[in-house]
Amino acid sequence: MKSFSLSFLFSFLFSSFLLSSCAPNDSHSNSNSHSNSNSHSNSNSSSPLSALAEKQKGAHVFSLENVDEYSILEPYHLNWVTMVSWAFQDSIRSDHTWANRGDTTAMREYDERWAERIRRAKSQGYKVFFKPHLWIQHTENGEWRSDIDHDTEEDWLSWRETYRSFILRYATVAEAGNADMYCIGMEFDQLSSKRPEFWVELIADVRAVYSGKVIYAANWYREYEAITFWEHLDYIGIQGYFPLCSKKQPSLEDITNGWDDHLKDMEKVAQANQRHVVFTEMGYRSTTNAAAKPWEWVEYDEENEAVYSEEIQVNCYKAFFEKVWNKPWFAGVHLWQLRTDHERRAEDFKLDFTTQGKAAEETIGHYFGNTVER
């Protein structure tokens, strides 16, 4: 998913901590127990994947601190909560990352607060997907996380160690909190193709300290099909911001038909690797062009076409549930995003991905609450 403005991010992080024109568009997306599966080997069987008994009905929830705040989740009928921790680096060529720098005591206390958040969600009956994100502070010319690469082997080795430390640190937190699934990386298009051995080693290192399910969140655009290490993971994770229709006022049928080619590609990868697909992230803005470039933040609307439309947002979700949800190889979705401060900041989120207080809230709740999994 494409980054938004740095000033908006810091506001976002601070509040989070405290509290056929409809043919697929190939433009780049700048876009409660553990089950230990340390040797979850790839099967060469070509038999179709069977539907899972229960699918992941999740959402990224920010500013969720207290038990009474869980009431905001009730309309959605979720069974998972997705939690995001952050690391940073200066640019796509940086030779290191960092996360919550401070003395040992402060970092230990910070990590324990994360573990406690996970435990609190579990105590409320939710499973937890813990999903570290890496934020690039300075970008230009459309650069983003997928473009991270290094000019020298020395720079790569330095970056590798700091990123590994970040991921293992929060894998330990995930284990302490008894999180059900943990993400080792997200949308590293260059690094996943050029450095597959690093990811295989990282997966093994994570499994040594964490006993839950392990996943990688691949970009929808050309990355997930090219990854060679799916067999070492428990699911095929995809950031599901697929373009569905480029019409300015698409109908529900237009949007629904936009899934056809994407479904064929995903099923092929799922069957080849004998792994179910999880959308590690998916969401739609409440704008008329939400189906054309779902990954695009309002701040980065290149054509300035962010016209308010709850109807298009609703139809995007309807198309997803009607076309994708019941595929036997599909294991679930983690929606972007819900917030405990949505009422206070409703105007800020009017055109954004949040569905709270919008018609899509009822739509998602209806499908999560009433669809028969098959």
- State both tokens at 180: 């059900």
Asked whether residue 14 carries a pLDDT value surpassing 60, the answer given is no
pLDDT, residue 344, reads 86
Which of 125-129, 164-168, 270-274, 300-304 shows the lowest per-residue confidence on average (mean pLDDT)?
A: 300-304
- Find the helix or strand (DSSP H, E) in which 114 lies: helix 104-123
pLDDT, residue 31, reads 42
Q: Which residue has the higher pLDDT, 297 or 241?
A: 241
Cα 97 to chain center, whole Å? 20
Q: What is the DSSP code string of 295-321? A: T--GGG-TT----B-HHHHHHHHHHHH
Nearest to 214 by CA among 229, 224, 193: 229
Cα–Cα dist 268/274, whole Å: 10
CA distances from 218 to 145, 160, 192, 235, 296 (A): 11, 18, 9, 11, 17
Mean pLDDT of the chain: 87
Q: Which residue has the higher pLDDT, 168 or 42?
A: 168
CB 132 within 8 A of CB 337: no
pLDDT, residue 138, reads 87
Q: What is the pLDDT of residues 308-351, one digit of tens each?
A: 999 999 999 999 999 999 999 999 999 999 999 888 888 888 99
Asked whether residue 9 carries a pLDDT value surpassing 90, the answer given is no
CB 294 within 8 A of CB 284: yes
| Residue 231 pLDDT grade (very low, low, confident, very high; cuts 50, 70, 90) | very high
- Find the helix or strand (DSSP H, E) in which 268 lies: helix 260-273
Backbone dihedral region for residue 138 (phi beyond 0: left; psi -120 to 50: alpha; all else: beta): beta
- List the alpha helices (DSSP H) in the chain: 6-18, 104-123, 153-177, 189-194, 196-209, 252-257, 260-273, 310-323, 359-370
Nearest to 281 by CA among 244, 251, 325, 238: 238
**Lookup result for tokens 């997200």:** 186
Cα–Cα dist 338/70, whole Å: 11
| Residue 1 pLDDT grade (very low, low, confident, very high; cuts 50, 70, 90) | low
Query: CB under 8 Å to 109, separation ≥6 — which residues?
Result: none
Neighbour count for residue 33 (Cβ, 10 Å): 8
CB 335 within 8 A of CB 364: yes
pLDDT, residue 10, reads 40
| Residue 265 pLDDT grade (very low, low, confident, very high; cuts 50, 70, 90) | very high
Asked whether residue 30 carries a pLDDT value surpassing 70, the answer given is no
pLDDT, residue 345, reads 87
Q: What is the pLDDT of residues 278-318, one digit of tens each?
A: 999 999 999 999 999 999 987 655 556 689 999 999 999 99
Asked whether residue 237 carries a pLDDT value surpassing 60, the answer given is yes
| Residue 26 pLDDT grade (very low, low, confident, very high; cuts 50, 70, 90) | very low
Cα 325 to chain center, whole Å? 16
Q: What is the pLDDT of residues 66-123, one digit of tens each?
A: 888 999 999 999 999 999 999 999 999 899 999 876 678 888 999 999 999 999 999 9
Q: What is the pLDDT of residues 192-205, one digit of tens each?
A: 999 999 999 999 99
Asked whether residue 16 carries a pLDDT value surpassing 50, the answer given is no
Which of 12-26, 55-69, 162-176, 337-351 shows the lowest per-residue confidence on average (mean pLDDT)?
A: 12-26
Q: For the residues 127-138, what does the mean pLDDT come to?
A: 95
Checking DSSP bridges between strand 277-282 and strand 213-219, what pairing results, if any? unpaired
Q: For the residues 224-236, what does the mean pLDDT come to?
A: 98
pLDDT, residue 46, reads 65
**For the chain, first and last CA: distance in Å?**
30
pLDDT, residue 349, reads 87
Three-state secondary structure call for residue 79: coil
Checking DSSP bridges between strand 181-186 and strand 127-130, what pairing results, if any? parallel
Q: What is the DSSP code string of 164-206? A: HHHHHHHHHHHHHHT-SEEEEEE--HHHHHH-HHHHHHHHHHH
